[in-house]
């Protein structure tokens, strides 16, 4: 990076002991430890109950000095990411799913766009979704058409890739204008909150921010925290809520 902008990496965690045992935090720690762009790795736990917290506290916090742990009650991925944005210290915040479906090294592609004065930079799978089941690919394509019809975001090919980079001040201003995901709520079970990405980008575009989409490597990783049918229905509900609130001029 040539403009000396610092980056906080935000990693959401909810019952991720299986991924942790695969060494994903070792990969993240080793990469960020020697990369001067990153000033911290903010691990935000969403009320894990499977031993994830113990592993992070006992092994990884002492091992990697840039690691910082925040503990939330279980409220879903949206509030986990919002907490990370609010508590981060870098000029930019980068989100990465802990399964590393997008390898952490791909961060360099997004960070490079900071020099082109973009404040909203998102990773894109180019609709390829290598290794994903055929049904998932078909449903994802259908969701894109529904999204474009109801709330726009035309020109953005992939809103749901869990690899995004935002300028911190801009992201905090966008959060203040959220409606669907404004209120914290206690939930049961896993919630990946696909609608959060949609509302965030919808508000960003309404505020006049240009969205830069950058192709990144991505591979399908099965996880018990994702149920595609359940999460698609939840996302569809959120799209309708965004459309309804926009009709009521709540995003003005």
Q: Does 190 fall in a domain?
A: yes
- What CATH number has the domain bearing residue 115? 3.90.550.10
What pLDDT does residue 156 have? 86
- Exposure string (b/e) for 140-166, b if CB count within 10 Å is 16 or more? beebbeebeebbbbeebebbbbbbbbb
- Check pLDDT > 90 for residue 56: yes
Q: Does 2 fall in a domain?
A: no
Q: Which of 176, 27, 48, 49 is nearest to 103 (CA)?
A: 27
Mean pLDDT of the chain: 87
How many CA atoms lie less than 13 Å away from 157 in the CB half-sphere?
Answer: 12
Quote the CA–CA distance of 249 and 252 in Å, as a whole number: 5
Local structure of 10: helix, strand or coil: strand
Largest Cα–Cα distance in the chain?
Answer: 50
Token pair of 16 as six digits: 């991720």
**Residue 13, Cβ density class (10 Å: 0-12 exposed, 13-18 middle, ≥19 buried):** buried
What pLDDT does residue 44 have? 98
Total domains in the fold of the chain: 1
- Check pLDDT > 50 for residue 28: yes
Which pTM does this prediction carry? Answer: 0.87
Q: Can you give the residue range of the structural domain that contains 73?
A: 7-247
Token pair of 222 as six digits: 């099965």
What pLDDT does residue 2 have? 47
Quote the CA–CA distance of 144 and 102 in Å, as a whole number: 20
Angle between helices 134-151 and 194-206 (to 10 degrees): 30
What pLDDT does residue 4 have? 80
How many CA atoms lie less than 13 Å away from 232 in the CB half-sphere?
Answer: 14
Q: Does 68 fall in a domain?
A: yes
Q: Does 234 fall in a domain?
A: yes
- Per-residue confidence band for 106, with pLDDT thresholds at 50, 70 and 90: very high
**Is residue 96 within 8 Å of 163, Cβ to Cβ?**
yes
- Check pLDDT > 80 for residue 6: yes
Chain position carrying tokens 């907490």: 83
Percentage of residues of the chain with pLDDT beyond 90: 67
Q: Does 252 fall in a domain?
A: no
Alpha carbon separation from 27 to 97, 129, 162, 234 (Å, rounded): 13, 22, 17, 32
Q: Does 238 fall in a domain?
A: yes
How many CA atoms lie less than 13 Å away from 36 in the CB half-sphere?
Answer: 5
Length of the chain: 252
Higher local confidence (pLDDT), 8 or 155? 8
Question: Tens digit of pLDDT for each residue in 189-239?
Answer: 666 566 899 999 999 999 999 999 999 998 877 665 556 566 667 778 888
Q: Does 1 fall in a domain?
A: no
Alpha carbon separation from 164 to 97, 122, 177, 219 (Å, rounded): 10, 4, 19, 16
Q: Does 46 fall in a domain?
A: yes
- Check pLDDT > 70 for residue 58: yes
Chain position carrying tokens 């979704």: 129
Percentage of residues of the chain with pLDDT beyond 70: 82
- Per-residue confidence band for 124, with pLDDT thresholds at 50, 70 and 90: very high
Token pair of 40 as six digits: 């911290």
């Amino acid at each position: 990076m040539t403009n000396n902008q610092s980056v906080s990496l935000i990693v959401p965690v909810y019952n991720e002991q299986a991924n942790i045992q695969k060494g994903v935090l070792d990969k993240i720690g080793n990469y960020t430890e020697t990369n001067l762009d990153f000033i911290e790795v903010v691990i935000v736990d969403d009320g894990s109950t499977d031993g994830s917290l113990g592993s992070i506290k006992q092994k990884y916090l002492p091992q990697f000095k840039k690691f910082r742990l925040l503990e939330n009650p279980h409220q879903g991925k949206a509030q986990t990411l919002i907490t990370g944005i609010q508590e981060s210290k870098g000029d930019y915040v980068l989100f990465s799913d802990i399964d590393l479906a997008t390898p952490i090294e791909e961060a360099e592609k997004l960070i490079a766009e900071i020099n082109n004065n973009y404040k909203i930079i998102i990773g894109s799978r180019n609709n390829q979704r290598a290794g994903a089941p055929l049904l998932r690919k078909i449903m994802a394509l259908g969701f894109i058409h529904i999204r474009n019809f109801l709330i726009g975001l035309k020109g953005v090919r992939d809103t749901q890739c869990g690899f995004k980079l935002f300028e911190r001040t801009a992201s905090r201003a966008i959060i203040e204008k959220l409606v669907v995901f404004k209120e914290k709520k206690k939930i049961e079970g896993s919630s990946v909150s696909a609608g959060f990405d949609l509302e965030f980008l919808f508000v960003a575009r309404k505020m006049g921010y240009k969205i830069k989409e950058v192709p990144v490597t991505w591979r399908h990783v099965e996880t018990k925290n994702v149920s595609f049918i359940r999460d698609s229905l939840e996302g569809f509900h959120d799209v309708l809520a965004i459309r309804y609130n926009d009709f009521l001029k709540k995003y003005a």
